[in-house]
Amino acid sequence: MKKAKLADTMDSIPPIVDWDTPANVLVPLIRYSKCILISKKSKIVGIITASDTLKMME
């Protein structure tokens, strides 16, 4: 079995936005990332995916 470093298999760090960020700000961000992390009081509290942003646009 080949030994791979975790850093070699990970994607880049997704953008992190504050809980109060307006939804329209997320659309341009999701174009360049698989997901967006949501933070509240410096803790990650959620994750938004491309399909989530499409639902918000309906």
Count helices and strands in the chain by DSSP H and E runs? 3, 3
User: Mind listing the domains of the chain with CATH numbers?
Assistant: 6-57 (3.10.580.10)
Judge whether residue 8 has pLDDT over 70: yes
pLDDT one-digit tens code per residue, 19-53: 999 988 988 998 888 899 999 999 999 999 988 88
CA 16, distance to chain mean position in Å, is 6
Q: What is the pLDDT of residue 1?
A: 60
State the pTM of this model: 0.75
Given a cut of 90, whether residue 17 has pLDDT beyond it is yes
Residue 32 is predicted with a pLDDT of: 87
3 state SS of 29? helix
